[in-house]
Amino acid sequence: MLKVGLTGGIGSGKTTVCKVFRSLGIHVYDADSQAKQLMNFEPLVKSQLMATFGEDVFQGDQLNRTMLAKLVFNDEQKLAALNAIVHPAVGRDFESWLNGYRAEKYIIKEAAIMFESGSHKSCDVIIGVVADNETRIERVMSRGGQTREEVISRMNNQMDQDELQARVDYVIDNNGQMALIPQVLHLHDIFLSEQ
Ligand code: ATP
């Protein structure tokens, strides 16, 4: 089974591209959503978070994400401590998720931060989804909930798109001029034929 990583910055279109792969019957592991689930529900992760950031980061059973975000904001050591808890937990969760799909020709692991988290090491090939910064900003703003400044701030904390393009094996251009479905079908054929 081929393990395909799929990454891209905020608003590049990862979720949209994954929807097309899902419509072809491909199973997608959403690393960002799983990380949130694990932080809320996985006993070991919860106890590590409380030991590192204090019991107050949980209100009852619920992780106070705003408080945690404030604690790690502009504090590299605390951010590294958070990543050292969450990234290995996602790695373990992905490995056990894989067990349900061993018979598949290929699966996709979607993650906004793939190289920064070391997640790429668990994949055989990587797809990068790219779009111009202005297109990404406008799409995220029209999706709702985030201001231009918030999107730019997130972009500045993520890998530069030129670097991302240089590191991935395949690029999906989501600027709007090239249709997504033929690009996905092309990669689908490649991954099926790589068996
Ligand atoms: P995030 O990292 O913030 O989760 P993402 O990379 O998963 O973002 P999407 O959620 O897929 O990106 O796309 C961002 C927004 O842009 C969504 O509202 C989506 O519907 C829209 N969008 C994505 N691709 C296109 C496209 N080719 N044409 C028009 N709108 C698009």
Structure tokens at 156: 């500045």
Q: Report the pLDDT value the prediction gives residue 117, as an integer from 0 to 100.
A: 87
How far does residue 98's CA lie from ligand 1's centre (Å)? Answer: 26
Choosing from 7, 139, 146, 161 the residue with most ligand 1 atoms within 8 A of its CB, the one to mutate for a pocket test is 139
Q: Report the pLDDT value the prediction gives residue 63, as an integer from 0 to 100.
A: 94
pLDDT value at 84 more than 80: yes
By CB atoms closer than 10 A (0-12, 13-18, 19+), residue 79 is middle
Q: Report the pLDDT value the prediction gives residue 195, as an integer from 0 to 100.
A: 61
For the Cβ of 174 lying below 6 angstroms from any atom of ligand 1, the answer is yes
Going by CA atoms, what residue is nearest to atom 8 of ligand 1?
A: 11
Strand 62-63, strand 58-59: pairing: antiparallel
Condensed to tens digits (0 to 9), the pLDDT of residues 161-178 reads 999 999 999 999 999 999
Q: Please state the domain extents for the chain.
A: 1-27+104-195, 32-103
**CATH H superfamily, domain 1-27+104-195:** P-loop containing nucleotide triphosphate hydrolases (3.40.50.300)
8 A C-beta contact, residue 54 and residue 63: no
How far does residue 52's CA lie from ligand 1's centre (Å)? Answer: 34
Condensed to tens digits (0 to 9), the pLDDT of residues 88-147 reads 999 999 999 999 999 999 999 999 999 988 899 999 999 999 999 999 999 999 998 899
Tell me how far apart the alpha carbons of residues 23 and 150 are, in angstroms, rounded to a whole number.
31
For the Cβ of 139 lying below 6 angstroms from any atom of ligand 1, the answer is yes
Going by CA atoms, what residue is nearest to atom 16 of ligand 1?
A: 139
Condensed to tens digits (0 to 9), the pLDDT of residues 21-67 reads 999 999 999 999 999 999 999 999 999 999 999 999 999 888 999 99
